[in-house]
Amino acid sequence: MAGDEILYMHDICKDYVMADSVLHVLKNITLTVRKGQFLAILGPSGSGKSTLMNIIGCLDVPTSGDYWLAGRYVADEDETSLSHIRNREIGFVFQSFQLLQRQTALENVELPLIYANMPEKKRKERAQECLEMVGLSDKMDNYPNQLSGGQQQRVAIARAMANHPSILLADEPTGALDQRTGAQVMELFHELNDEGNTIIMITHDSKIASHAKRIVKILDGVISEGDTSDA
């Protein structure tokens, strides 16, 4: 892995064993991402894009192949190690926001910091910082049901940034939002990327994908078209 590469995958395969056959979901995927890139992985449903995202995000391990993330080999780690890696290196943004309903915006943003064993005072400061960064410091003590969809997603983005992750990994981030709010969220992504954050976005919508500076297309478990090395 070269100095400014944040992610390097080589010959990644993922198979699912069914009752009477084996399903090859990912077939020899090779992918390099540099620090600070804004990458979109574009594919229809069933293309394997979700599976690829799970492997990138260390929620799953490949059946075979190599994966280096932030200089560390992560293809064969156990769940406990993976959870640490996720905590430190990956900032997830989900289509359905995935905020804890019974906790305030601030408490939601604190969550990854709790799992990073950050002391309480420092945690609250950092969480407030992140909410400021997405422009929601005044909604600190609100519960998710008191926030609009766009606001909830922005809280989720604040949460994703809390631990200074290597990669911001967004799965259909605007899927549950209307056009206007979606555009606001994409604007926020641009800002974050301008500040040097690496963003990988998974989507089936080519309009959304075009916000990114680099598009990788995936179909039937194979990366096709677009760049497989950095632009």
Query: Where on the chain is the footprint of other proteins (CB under 8 A)?
Result: 54, 57, 59-60, 79-80, 83-84, 86-88, 92, 94, 98, 100, 102, 111-112, 114-117, 159, 163
70 near 91, Cβ under 8 Å?
Answer: no
Can you read off the two tokens belonging to residue 120? 């309480």
Copy the structure tokens of residue 146: 């008191």
**Cβ–Cβ under 8 Å, residues 187 and 199:** no
Nearer to other proteins, 38 or 92 (CB): 92
Nearest in space to 204 (alpha carbons), one of 22, 35, 26, 44? 44
Q: Indicate the residue among 92 and 189 with the shorter CB distance to other proteins.
A: 92
Give the nearer residue to other proteins in terms of CB position, either 96 or 228.
96
First vs last C-alpha separation in the chain? 16
| Min dist. Cβ of residue 103 to other proteins (A) | 8
Q: Which residues contact 66 (CB under 8 A, 6 or more apart)?
A: 8, 9, 10, 11, 12, 73, 75
Question: Minimum Å distance from CB 183 to other proteins?
Answer: 26
CB 178, min distance to other proteins, A? 23
Could you give the CA distance from residue 182 to residue 132 in angstroms, rounded to a whole number?
19
Beta partners for residue 64, in sequence order: 13
Q: Which amino acid is at 229?
A: S
| Smallest gap from residue 84 Cβ to other proteins (A) | 7
State which residue, 34 or 159, has the beta carbon closest to other proteins: 159
Nearer to other proteins, 98 or 181 (CB): 98
CB of 123 to other proteins, least distance (A): 10
Which spans in the chain are helix H? Answer: 49-56, 79-89, 105-115, 120-133, 149-161, 179-194, 206-209
Smallest gap from Cβ 86 to other proteins, in A, equals 5
Instruction: State which residue, 68 or 94, has the beta carbon closest to other proteins.
Output: 94
